[in-house]
A and B are shown apart, each in its own frame.
Chain A
Amino acid sequence: MPAISMKVNGKAVSGNVENRTLLVDFIRTNLGLTGTHVGCDTSQCGACVVHIDGKAVKSCTTLAVACEGASVTTIEGIAKNGTLHPMQQAFHENHGLQCGFCTPGMIMASIDIVKRNGKKVSEEVIRRELSQNICRCTGYHNIVAAVQSAAEKM
């Protein structure tokens, strides 16, 4: 089994994985970071979104070995010194989550949307880009409101 090493949430990590091991399994099983979820098997629900070198990626469709040397950020790594990331805070304040299962992926995807589209990102763009993430509880209403609210503060 190949040995891999990468940075996850700013910490150097390493492990031995099979060639076929997915990044999400490496994160959940090897590292015990269970905030990143698996909600489908066709790369559509987005519950598994993490950042690789600053870009949102579905970790269920990424091989762990392909991330050798990369810098990976998961939902556990975005609060700084006990202060929530503005996107986390906005999801809380706007009631942008109910069961919470899709939430980590939603937050990670939303941070990327704002980074790429700026503070003035339109509702139209948020809705179009968030269509890579599925939520069954909220009807997206408050998620969109949360992203708009966080965009102003990021």
Chain B
Amino acid sequence: MSDTGIGARVLRKEDKRFITGKGQYTDDINLKDQTYAYFVRSPHAHATIKAINTAKAKKMPGVVDIFTSKEVEEDKIGGLICGWMIHSKDGSGMKAGPHPILASGKVRFVGDQVAVVIAETREQAKAAAQAVAVSYGVLPHNVDAGQAMKTKAQVHDVASDNRVYNWSIGDEAATDAAFRSAAHVTKLDLINNRLIPNAMETRAAIGSYDTGSEHYTLYTTSQNPHVARLVISAFHGLAPEHKLRVIAPDVGGGFGSKIFIYGEEVTCVWASKRIGGRPVKWTADRSEAFLSDAHGRDHVSHAELAMDASGKIVGLKVHTIASMGAYLSTFSSCVPTYLYATLLSGQYDIPNIYAEVDAVYTNTAPVDAYRGAGRPEATYLLERIVETAARELKIDPAEFRRRNFITQFPHQTPVIFCYDAGDYGAALDKALELSDYRNFASRKAASAKNGKLRGVGFSAYIEACGIAPSAAVGSLGAGVGLWESAEVRVNAVGTVEVLTGSHSHGQGHETTFAQLVSERLGVDINNVAIVHGDTDKVQMGMGTYGSRSGAVGMTAISKALDKIEAKAKRVAAAVMEASTDDIDFKDGTFTVKGTDKKMAFGEVALASYVGHKFNSSEIEIGLKETSFHDPSNFVFPAGVHICEVEVDTETGLTKIASYTAVDDFGTIINPMIVEGQVQGGVAQGIGQALLEGAHYDRDSGQLLTGSYMDYNMPKAANMPHIENFKLGFTFTKCPSNPLGMKGCGEAGAIAAPPAVINAITNALGVRDIAMPATPLTVWNAMQPMKRAAE
């Protein structure tokens, strides 16, 4: 291993601009003559739009123009799409209601955008937005997923019972039979709380239309600018792809929420042409982000787990109601189906699984992928019911898990996936050791002396990421393939530019991707540039989400590097007058077998472009290669996390006393960055378990958690102290990509919520507690025990 190659803790190349204030986020960019957009949003959860009067607002200072659905329809701008078709059990397609970029005829949630005001300044646009008079006819609403199929509030005409689909997976008859012969059945009702992603940079866009070239440019906060360009071209009909450039510059976090195509961004591009070509800039307030970013989770589930007399799991039955919010967001439909129920086997050999999912419309913000997307919901359900079953059977939770672990690979689950490699027992052993599980009883006793209840909770998670192959996801309903592209350009001086379809918004690709190039070509890491996030530079790509950029994005780069090496060998052979088969390449030097002839990589690069030393009719001039990599399987990172909590019996406050995460991510390019991903993911998981929850008022339909005053984000003081947060890794190589990589971006957010809740329920001796387990919730849960003790 070189000091900048695969496996090295290389400090990040991208840091300097961020720590010196030189990052360029969308709102930092200002275009000449730009105007500012502000959106008029619905104050009602559900209402008809009777009339919109913009006359007074249009006369306000600085107002350039105001648009509503009338102008959208005049220009035939298409609606937002959902890119994954899910079919119900009965074979019918999902019921997708219309989703115009500005609401037409009806508003369906508080925050639905109704009109856009374009003005000379942001303040003027905001002031005029308040003067737009919208007359509403208020309709009955429903914000509760559990009530959606019973309510009179019908969100879309196309779905009379608000049901988008009724989907199932697994063998129902076989699972029922397994339950009939079971020795013990554990039942649990669970709610997976709705979360708001809260990337620290809110969404923003600058749309710009050049009247001369008839060319559009969109700067936007996107995790996948190429998909944005494709959708805006193909579905909104704004401009063909060659007339639209999408740039996602520095992006301040995504966590899923910036995968999707939203109405505001499309509106900015469209409106720029409508006002004669002046750029239109929009930056969301945090309040707008709370209202209008796609939320995450929001499942209501019933689960049953069947065991035989030896404590072996024989069956799992699940019914889930998943809120989709008021509209189907870009990838929302696949989250509670193929990203959720396919993971219900977890790390366990469960011969029979049957799951049924009802996706429903509610009068709330759309729900879509948020860090983990479906996999946290599956892991929470399975790890909560497995822990509960172990307690009911009076088997140590670690032992119960071990008894049911899959130990042979490949392993075909009853819910589609074929796990390729893993060693779940090894991760459990390491986690038990790192967390000092054997001495838990003495720590519990010490906590008790201080008036605190201590509990321990486990979470053995598996994740499927690097979603693939394209043909497989296509057969399951995906509208796009899930490959990735790379172009490696070697310059004549031997420096390297890598153009990737992945997008970095915190993941550190500028460093890790360069490490791969450094390892393979022997080039100094500072002589490698990673180019991403601009559709004029990178031809096509699928972006970054689902922990895919290592396993899929870097494999594409690796394949392009294979071609570079092969071509460079031919050049080196020609220059050194040898056979290509006799050329070796190691540590950046080409040598001829059995001779002392050698050429440095930079010399071969120069020779490739000079072209004097070989026959250019046989070897093409230049050193530039492309690869489109389509994976042969998903990748399956897995691990065991153990959380210990201390609960204050007087206040109900839960403190994370210690947290241990042991993960198998396959090959790790940069341990420093991977550890950072785990720490950040775990913080979001702890946030879901203890602090965060989006709450809509049932009566008014208003979002009550609409700012950082009401929505409790994890802070430094909520996290375990440095010495109490232990990380470990185990290793099994992923067989489906040449680098052996899995994925690490979502693991923490997937694993942590059940670990924390299992620890709290263990501390309190209760069967269940709702997330977020706030001090009030925990205090209330303790009262029956206190009364019993008195």
Contacts and interface: CB of A to CB of B under 8 A. Distances in A.
Interface in A1-58: 28, 33-42, 44-45, 47
Contacts of A79: 20
Which of A74, A76, A137 is most buried by chain B, counting CB atoms within 10 A of its CB? A137
A136 B721 CA distance: 17
Given A42-B286, A101-B252, A127-B716, A84 B672 contact: no
A68 interface: no
Contact of A93 (B11, B253, B673): B11
A135 B506 CA distance: 12
Given A75-B20, A99-B505, A140 B715 contact: yes
Contacts of A145: 722
Interface in B1-58: 11-12, 14-25, 27-28
B505 A41 contact: no
A36 B25 CA distance: 11
Interface string A71-105: 00011100100001000100111010111111110
Interface of B: 11-12, 14-25, 27-28, 198-202, 250-253, 255, 285-287, 505-508, 672-673, 675-676, 679-684, 707-709, 713-717, 719, 721-722, 725, 748
Contacts, number: 172
Given A44-B709, A137-B506, A140-B716, A97 B15 contact: yes
A139 interface: yes
Interface of A: 28, 33-42, 44-45, 47, 74-76, 79, 84, 88, 91-93, 95, 97-104, 107, 123, 126-128, 130-131, 133-145
Contacts of B679: 138-139, 141-142
Given A37-B201, A131-B717, A144 B252 contact: no
8 contacts: A38-B27, A45-B708, A76-B22, A95-B12, A100-B17, A131-B715, A136-B680, A140-B683
A41 B716 contact: no
Contact of A134 (B27, B709, B715): B715
Nearest to A130: B716
A135 to B, nearest CB: 7
B506 A98 contact: yes
Given A135-B200, A138-B680, A141-B679, A103 B716 contact: no
Which of A36, A74, A101, A144 is most buried by chain B, counting CB atoms within 10 A of its CB? A101
B676 A142 contact: yes
Contacts of A92: 11-12, 15-16, 19
A130 B94 CA distance: 46
Given A99-B252, A136-B200, A84 B708 contact: no
Nearest to A34: B28
Contacts of A107: 19
A143 B16 CA distance: 16
Contact of A136 (B20, B21, B199, B675): B199
Contact of A101 (B11, B22, B201, B675): B201
Contacts of B719: 127, 139-141
B200 A44 contact: no
Which of B25, B201, B675 is most buried by chain A, counting CB atoms within 10 A of its CB? B201
A103 B250 CA distance: 13
B707 A42 contact: yes
A55 to B, nearest CB: 19
Closest 6 CB pairs of A and B: A35-B21, A100-B18, A101-B252, A139-B683, A99-B506, A98-B506
Given A92-B16, A107-B19, A139-B682, A99 B11 contact: no
B533 to A, nearest CB: 13
Contact of B201 (A39, A41, A138): A39
A19 B253 CA distance: 33
B21 A76 contact: yes
A42 B708 contact: yes
B716 A136 contact: no
B505 A88 contact: no
B713 A134 contact: yes
A24 B287 CA distance: 18
Contact of B507 (A35, A98, A103, A140): A98
Contact of B21 (A33, A138, A139, A140): A33
Nearest to B252: A101
Contacts of A28: 28
Contacts of B22: 35, 76
Contacts of A133: 716
B286 A128 contact: no
A144 B722 contact: yes
A37 B286 CA distance: 12
Contacts of A76: 20-22
B709 A42 contact: yes
B253 A99 contact: yes
Contact of B200 (A33, A34, A47, A144): A47
Which of A33, A107, A135 is most buried by chain B, counting CB atoms within 10 A of its CB? A135
Given A95-B676, A139-B683, A75 B21 contact: yes
A128 to B, nearest CB: 5
A102 B683 CA distance: 16
